[in-house]
Amino acid sequence: MTRSLIDLHTHSTASDGSCAPAAIVDAAESCSLAALALTDHDTTAGLAEAAARAELYPQLHFVPGIELSAIFQAGTLHILGLGIDPHAKALVKLTAQLRQAREERNPKIIAKLQALGLAIDM
């Protein structure tokens, strides 16, 4: 059977997905995908796990990726990076900055939700 379908935009529990990186690779293989990219939001944290699992499936081409948040005009723009080197110094520095910004922003979001009457904490 020739594999022809690909998925180049997936998220794992390393960002806002509901499945672990290895489970996403398993699902891609069970669907007989030809290629899969893991593109978590602003992090490369799940790539090593996904790449290791993909080694078990020689017919599945794994593409390391990321979905970067960027400020553009009055809003946020998401940029997909495919075939990245997760150890590149510039990328490591950028993801650390984005993680810090997210850690500073999250308590503010929680406070706003609590002010609206939602029972939520971190």
pLDDT in tens, 41-91: 999 999 999 999 999 999 999 999 999 988 888 888 999 999 999 999 999
Say what the pTM is. 0.87
Please report, for residues 15, 20, 84, the alpha-carbon distance to residue 80 in angstroms, rounded to integers and kept in the order given: 14, 20, 10
Enumerate domains of the chain plus CATH numbers.
6-115 (3.20.20.140)
